[in-house]
């Protein structure tokens, strides 16, 4: 091999088995270049070329220039990616709520919120709450709390986007400050507790109409009762259809129901639909520092009756929120379904609509 060929082979090494970056890394190429005398420099190149020819094993370890291109990141752990919803989901309050529900449903140790879970340590109503059926005199100040959860007990019964669910809501009005300890003759009784189990079919959808995403339809059988007997007994059964919709930070639920008729002799509240109507609307908006929501009902009759409940929650930490509620109208509880009540309360919440 002539010296010119040796130099050419060195300069063209990137096309063969040994890269110039590797030679530069071990310093030998730089040492040859640094020699001023032509003979010495060419002799250095001779030795360098000869050492490459004598070491074919090194050429087998050469990394192809293609392999030096950036590679795709290793597959992520599904357990960690599941906890981080895509950006599109984060920017849609309803989609984010449904994604969190789906994650909780996959975990057998967790249950999902159905309605907000809260306790109002102090509420005030100017309405006289007394009724002949009570064996105590209710105070205007009382505590109010709601427990509400749901879970899917059968996934995909009619296809991959369906599920049979069970839900339960309990709403209690507690005369917490009506006790002997606070110079009252009562013993902090529960003035009213309403129990509301429900069961039905969920259908997940992806319809887009009038700028809104319709993400879920629900067909339900709902029973509601205060668990009392005699003159205090209140109960009714309904078949309901509802849909959840939203866009951006806004979400809503529209629900319509049909009351299942009962025999007049056993019906504790035959005129309940005159006060609670045949459906309700819930709207919620995710603010930067909290959630604002409202639930409305109306009987849509000439003798108009309805109700509105407005809630605002703001996170205190990752577990609890400050919670404020205002209610006005009929049907706050079953015992008071036919009496208009206004109430303001403050407390804490574990979950909200969004």
Domain span at residue 272 reads 86-351
Q: Are residues 96 and 35 in the same domain?
A: no
Summarised one tens digit per residue, pLDDT across range 111-133 is 899 999 999 999 999 999 999 99
Question: What would the two tokens of residue 278 be?
Answer: 């045949």
The residue among 59, 77, 103 that closes a domain is 59
Instruction: List, as one string, the DSSP characters of 103-124.
Output: HHHTSTT--EESS-EEEEEEEE
How many domains is the chain built from? 2
Is the pLDDT at 347 greater than 90, yes or no? yes
Does residue 126 lie within any of the structural domains?
yes
Q: Are residues 34 and 105 in the same domain?
A: no
Does residue 21 lie within any of the structural domains?
yes
Summarised one tens digit per residue, pLDDT across range 239-290 is 999 999 999 999 999 999 999 999 998 999 999 999 999 999 999 999 999 9
Provide the pLDDT confidence category of residue 78 given band limits of 50, 70 and 90: very low
Active-site pick, 102, 179, 184, 223: 223
Question: Of 312, 305, 297, 306, which is closest to residue 253 (Cα–Cα)?
Answer: 297
Provide the pLDDT confidence category of residue 182 given band limits of 50, 70 and 90: confident
Q: Are residues 311 and 265 in the same domain?
A: yes
Active site residue 179: no
Does residue 99 lie within any of the structural domains?
yes
Q: Are residues 14 and 157 in the same domain?
A: no
Does residue 8 lie within any of the structural domains?
yes
Q: Are residues 127 and 45 in the same domain?
A: no
- Mean pLDDT of the 30-49 span: 73
β-sheet bridge partners, residue 287:
290
Active-site pick, 204, 225, 233, 340: 225
Is the pLDDT at 166 greater than 60, yes or no? yes
The phi, psi pair for 99, rounded to 5°, reads -65, -40
Provide the pLDDT confidence category of residue 86 given band limits of 50, 70 and 90: low
CATH number of the domain enclosing 262: 2.40.230.10
Question: Of 81, 86, 79, 82, which is closest to residue 102 (Cα–Cα)?
Answer: 82
C-alpha 204/C-alpha 256 separation (Å) is 18
C-alpha 195/C-alpha 106 separation (Å) is 27
Does residue 212 lie within any of the structural domains?
yes
Does residue 64 lie within any of the structural domains?
no
Q: Are residues 38 and 116 in the same domain?
A: no
- Mean pLDDT of the 166-170 span: 98
Active site residue 319: no
Buried b (16+ CB within 10 A) or exposed e, 79-97: eeeeeebeeebeebbbbbb
Does residue 22 lie within any of the structural domains?
yes
Q: Which pTM was predicted?
A: 0.73
């Amino acid at each position: 091999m002539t010296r010119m060929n040796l130099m050419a082979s060195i300069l063209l090494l990137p096309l063969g088995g040994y890269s110039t970056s590797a030679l530069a890394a071990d310093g030998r190429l730089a040492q040859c270049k640094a020699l001023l005398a032509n003979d010495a420099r060419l002799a250095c190149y001779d030795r360098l070329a000869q050492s490459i020819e004598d070491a074919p094993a090194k050429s087998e370890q050469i990394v192809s220039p293609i392999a030096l291109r950036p590679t795709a990141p290793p597959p992520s752990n599904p357990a960690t990616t599941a906890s981080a919803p895509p950006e599109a989901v984060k920017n849609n309050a309803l989609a984010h709520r449904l994604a969190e529900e789906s994650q909780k449903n996959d975990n057998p140790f967790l249950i999902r919120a159905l309605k907000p879970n809260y306790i109002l340590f102090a509420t005030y109503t100017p309405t006289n709450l007394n009724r002949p059926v009570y064996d105590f005199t209710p105070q205007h100040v009382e505590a109010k709390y709601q427990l509400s959860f749901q879970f899917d007990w059968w996934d995909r019964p009619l296809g991959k986007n369906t599920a049979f669910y069970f839900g339960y809501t309990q709403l209690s009005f507690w005369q917490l400050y009506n006790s002997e300890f606070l110079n009252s003759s009562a013993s902090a009784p529960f003035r009213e507790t309403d129990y509301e189990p429900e069961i039905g079919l969920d259908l997940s959808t992806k319809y887009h109409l009038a700028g809104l995403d319709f993400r879920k339809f629900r067909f339900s059988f709902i029973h509601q009762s205060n668990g009392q007997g005699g003159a205090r007994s209140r109960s009714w059964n309904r078949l309901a259809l509802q849909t959840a919709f939203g866009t951006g930070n806004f979400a809503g639920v529209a629900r319509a129901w049909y009351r299942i008729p009962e025999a007049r002799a056993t019906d504790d509240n035959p005129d309940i639909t005159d006060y609670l109507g045949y459906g309700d609307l819930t709207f919620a908006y995710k603010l930067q520092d909290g959630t604002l929501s409202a639930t409305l009902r109306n009987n849509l009759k000439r003798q108009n009756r309805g109700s509105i409940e407005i809630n605002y929650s703001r996170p205190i930490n990752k577990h609890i929120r400050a919670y404020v509620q205002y209610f006005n109208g009929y049907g706050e509880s079953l015992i008071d379904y036919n009496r208009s009540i206004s109430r303001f309360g403050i407390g804490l919440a574990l979950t909200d609509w969004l």
